[in-house]
Amino acid sequence: MRRGRQTIIFLLLIVLCAGISFWRQGLYFTEEGAFHSVETGLRYGPSEEILLTYDREDGSEIIVGRWMDGLSVVPVERYLGVFWRMPRGTVVEGYQSMRYDVDGLVTAENWILGLSRLPEVTEVDCLVVVYDEEERKEVIAADVTIPVNENGFFCQKLDLEVVASTDYGYSISYLEGRTADGDVAFRHGTDESGNFFQGTGDRFSEVRIGGENETWVRVQ
């Protein structure tokens, strides 16, 4: 009886020590566990919900979560076929604050990710640009329309070829949020015509009309 009890205690100690060892090495049995561990290491989180998971070319994954008013973008990978961890030697985008009522970003894997805090917005139009070193200016890479989910999240993978000789990544130049009736509820950034809109929380914008006689007007 005593030997059986000792065996059980010994096995429990092995399990405990193994668990501590895995934890110290950043190993977890679930991808969510590894994801939240990275967030904790970056001193934020954990995310309130996971919004999206997508694969990367190297076999790892990106998990996108919502935390406060922004997005958490974290890479994870399988290890030894059993565990999950953060890939070694990789860049972590981490927490990305969404400053405006409708805001977004383009990830290193060319995914558009964003959030809308306006319940009436059902789709967004994103103008994506990249800096061309030969022309020394930003050039348009894509103009896409993306539906907005009920929770305000929107996303889309961009199938972009190399459109310029550049070391820079893609970025969103202009975001426009529209209602189901097609009315513009929000706009921010520089559109194709070079007009700049400053999105604000009260859903008004300032627009700068380019050209020699540059002017600013208020629009709703």
Beta-sheet strand order (sheet of 111-116): 102-106, 111-116, 153-157
Q: Which pLDDT score, from 0 to 100, does residue 39 have?
A: 94
For residue 151, pLDDT over 90 is answered with: yes
Give percent of the chain with pLDDT exceeding 70: 75
Residue 115 pLDDT class (50, 70, 90 cuts): very high
Amino acid at 43: R
CB-CB neighbours of 36 under 10 Å: 20
Q: Which pLDDT score, from 0 to 100, does residue 106 have?
A: 93
Mean pLDDT, to the nearest integer, of 175-183?
95
Mean per-residue pLDDT of the chain: 80
User: For residue 8, how far is the Cα from the chain centroid?
Assistant: 46
pLDDT digits (tens, 9 = 90+) for 14-59: 433 334 444 444 688 899 999 999 999 999 999 999 999 999 988 8
Dig out the tokens for 25 from the structure: 């090495």
80: left (phi over 0), alpha (psi -120 to 50) or beta: left
Residue 67 dihedral angles phi and psi, to the nearest 5°: -135, 125
List of E strands, the chain: 49-55, 61-67, 70-79, 83-85, 94-97, 102-106, 111-116, 123-132, 137-147, 153-157, 170-178, 184-190, 196-199, 205-209, 215-219
